[in-house]
């Protein structure tokens, strides 16, 4: 129980951060016609801001289930790599069942907390999950409720907050790595051009195509060097 308590304590800052971000996500869900209960379970079962937002874009545009599956797969593909890295923390004496339950909450922030634990105990991760998942889910529902109460002008203003979150994610690495900067700029330009000249393609499909093409081109032109894996 000491590990679980430690997870609760160290997961609390993540919970507060999740509540703030998911509030903005709730505003976007309200605009997509999702009610607080649906939003709560959508966040609780997804735990992925980019993946959920991508899914919202498909919902708002009336996309298909196939588009939804492809969109969320592309947006959340990084978690496959995190899971592979995280699996190395489990020793042979830890029952396999813990891998499945801990794997339900592989997020950027919780991964960062869990990967630095040595020795690792699955109940530490359960502690981080117990406090952060409610923060993310409840924050989403509160955002949807607020979106139904607040004036439309204010709701539209708060909707911009989610875009601010994504800018906060991409700007720091853009300042450090010129290659990432070029990819981001190419993303903005290609998205605009696709909107202008490929409007006959559903929005969800356009985003999937651009994401796959840009990431593939970037990996070919600027592959990650061996020494960069060690930093």
pLDDT in the model for residue 161: 60
Instruction: Give per-residue pLDDT as tens, 44-71.
Output: 988 887 788 878 878 877 778 888 888 7
Give the model's confidence band at 230: pLDDT under 50 very low, under 70 low, under 90 confident, else very high.
very low
Take residue 208 and report the two structure tokens written for it.
Answer: 């999937």
Measured distance CA(211)–CA(203) in Å, rounded: 12
Cα torsion at 46, 78, 28, 204 (round to 10°)? -110
The arithmetic mean of pLDDT across residues 206-228, rounded, is 71
Q: Determine which of 99-108, 175-184, 202-211 has the lowest per-residue pLDDT on average.
A: 202-211
Instruction: Give per-residue pLDDT as tens, 112-140.
Output: 888 888 888 899 999 999 999 999 999 99
Instruction: Give per-residue pLDDT as tens, 3-43.
Output: 899 989 988 888 888 887 888 888 888 878 889 999 999 99
The residue among 118 and 96 whose pLDDT is bigger is 96
């Amino acid at each position: 129980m000491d590990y679980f308590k430690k997870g609760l304590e160290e997961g609390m800052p993540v919970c507060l951060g999740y509540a703030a971000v998911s509030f903005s996500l709730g505003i976007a869900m309200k605009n997509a016609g999702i009610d607080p209960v649906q939003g709560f379970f959508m966040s609780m079962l997804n735990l992925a801001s980019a993946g959920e937002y991508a899914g919202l874009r498909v919902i708002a545009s009336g996309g298909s289930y196939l588009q939804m599956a492809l969109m969320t797969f592309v947006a959340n593909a990084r978690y496959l790599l995190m899971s592979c890295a995280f699996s190395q923390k489990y020793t042979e004496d830890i029952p396999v069942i813990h891998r499945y339950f801990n794997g339900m909450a592989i997020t950027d922030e919780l991964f960062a907390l869990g990967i630095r634990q040595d020795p690792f105990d699955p109940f530490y991760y359960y502690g981080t999950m117990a406090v952060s998942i409610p923060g993310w889910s409840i924050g989403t529902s509160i955002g949807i409720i607020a979106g139904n109460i607040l004036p439309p002008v204010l709701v539209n203003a708060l909707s911009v907050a989610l875009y601010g979150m994504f800018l906060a994610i991409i700007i720091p690495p853009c300042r450090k790595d010129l290659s990432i900067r070029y990819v981001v700029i190419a993303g903005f330009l290609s998205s605009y051009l696709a909107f202008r000249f490929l409007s006959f393609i559903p929005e969800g499909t356009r985003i999937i195509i651009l994401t796959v093409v840009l990431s593939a081109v970037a990996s070919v032109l600027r592959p990650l060097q061996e020494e960069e894996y060690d930093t």
